[in-house]
Amino acid sequence: MVRRIKLKVQEMLDRNQVSMAMIYDSNGHILWHHGREINGRSIAEAQGLCRDAVMESLESGRSVCREPCPAYGGGGGSDANDGSGRIGSVIIQPLDSSYFFYLDSGSAPGFSAGDRRAFQVIFEIMDEVIDYIRQSQRGMGGITGESPVIQKLREEVLRFAVEDEPVLLTGETGVGKNHVAALIHHYSGRQGPFVVAHTPAIPEQLFEREFFGHCKGAFTDARSDRKGLVAGAQGGTLFLDEITEVPVSFQAKLLRFIESGKFRPLGDVRERQSDVRVISASNQDVLKMVAERRFREDLFYRIQVLQIAIPPLRERPQDIRHLVNTHLHFLKGKKLAPGFWDVMLGHDWPGNIRELFTVLKRAGILLPSPVTPEGIRFVIDHSCFREKMPMTGNGRVEETWRCMQAGATFWDAVRKPFLERDLNRREVMEVIDRALRLRRGRYRNILELFNLPPGEYKRFMNFVHQHRLRPSG
């Protein structure tokens, strides 16, 4: 809906010879821009606008009309203003209570009465679009919580949904990066699908094939053409989950695809053009990885044109009650005993929202009604979520060992958390290395420590090789 309306608005603007149009919020952030270049993402940075009119709209919150209007900042291009530094006509209309729609005619004469009637239709359409997105975010499937940081997150999702530039989502494991990416796609109105590229699960040698696909005969087992993730996301959004897991050997090709939209399937001599928006996510310090040459600097700056930092749950404890009340169905109708909220609000939730939901689901299965403070504390203490530790990950490695000593298999205690980003590659290698030292370096002998039968040896070794998990030395 949103993307279709945006294209319709652009057609109307072009038909009425608007030189430049934009939507900005009450803080001066530019959400959307169409027409001549203004060289900036905020009112303070942008050039060649009618500053007086913009400032009047921000101060009064009312519509503004100016004919003519002085341009400021220069550099807006030859059509931004005439030799006297003036823009022929400017119209600014408030949208909702926090946004403004700006239109100007550049160096052309003032807008006609017919133009103004068309603009009024555009203003009404865009006002409805913003209201639709706001109401959708407050409903089911939105971003739950009423803290200031969550309100800010909702505003950022709204701002970035109407753009087509790449977005980088950062935050700890379990904060909901996947969910925010899906919301940005949903509210963008893109007609294609939302496709997730779960990079930790892709072996290094298969990245190009998984992303770009292959043609029949491209390699020995290529018996037919196969679409990759990029082609599968045509017209929609490709979400690169944990982008720092993309090997350096593939990063240059990924950068070229993001910059140009072009890709070549393995075995094909022709390049193909795609219409795919890219959203990336990481729970790592990407700038540190750039400094360590484990992630390309040019790729980093390309994927973070727009960036959202999602706060951990411990930084917004006022949202815990709201989250629980919104998901009481996980407790299967059980009542809450006095003291329940003291335990929930007193825990720091190192696993964030994912841990909170897991605790509620386990309590719904394991505990009687009412759910007592002692009961919910027991579930929290035995949920196997790793404590947040320094990058060495020793705390999470120790917790993983305790889980396996209590009977959990390697697949449940190691593989699943690794694929869900609760354990990183370094931590998994540390688990395997410790087992090898206990069993004198023999892989077959460590299966017992991992609660795996001998018949699982081949599957285990395939997992180790595919994900580059052999400890060095």
Last residue of a domain, one of 263, 286, 309: 309
Q: Mean pLDDT over residues 202-225, rounded? A: 85
Q: What is the pTM of this model?
A: 0.62
Owning domain of residue 348? 313-381
147, part of any domain: no
Count other C-beta atoms under 10 Å from residue 210's C-beta.
Answer: 19
- Give the confidence band of 281 by pLDDT, cuts at 50, 70, 90: very high
Taking phi over 0 as left and psi of -120 to 50 as alpha, with beta for the rest, 403 belongs to: alpha
Residue pLDDT, tens place only, 237-251: 999 998 998 989 899
Please tell me whether residues 106 and 230 are part of one structural domain. Answer: no
What token pair was written down for 11? 């057609």
145, part of any domain: no
Please tell me whether residues 112 and 257 are part of one structural domain. Answer: no
Last residue of a domain, one of 309, 336, 358: 309
The secondary element (H helix, E strand) that includes residue 352 is helix 352-366
Largest CA distance in the chain: 86
Helix 113-138 to helix 177-188 angle (10° resolution) is: 150
Cβ within 8 Å of residue 449, ≥6 positions away: 404, 435, 438, 439
Domain tally, the chain: 4
Are the beta carbons of 127 and 95 closer than 8 angstroms? yes
473, part of any domain: no
Higher pLDDT, 325 or 388: 325
Please tell me whether residues 86 and 228 are part of one structural domain. Answer: no
Please tell me whether residues 325 and 403 are part of one structural domain. Answer: no
- Give the confidence band of 345 by pLDDT, cuts at 50, 70, 90: very high
C-alpha span between 165 and 187 (Å, rounded): 14
pLDDT of 386: 44
Please tell me whether residues 252 and 362 are part of one structural domain. Answer: no
Please tell me whether residues 256 and 328 are part of one structural domain. Answer: no
Last residue of a domain, one of 352, 381, 410: 381
pLDDT of 6: 62
355, part of any domain: yes
Please tell me whether residues 273 and 205 are part of one structural domain. Answer: yes
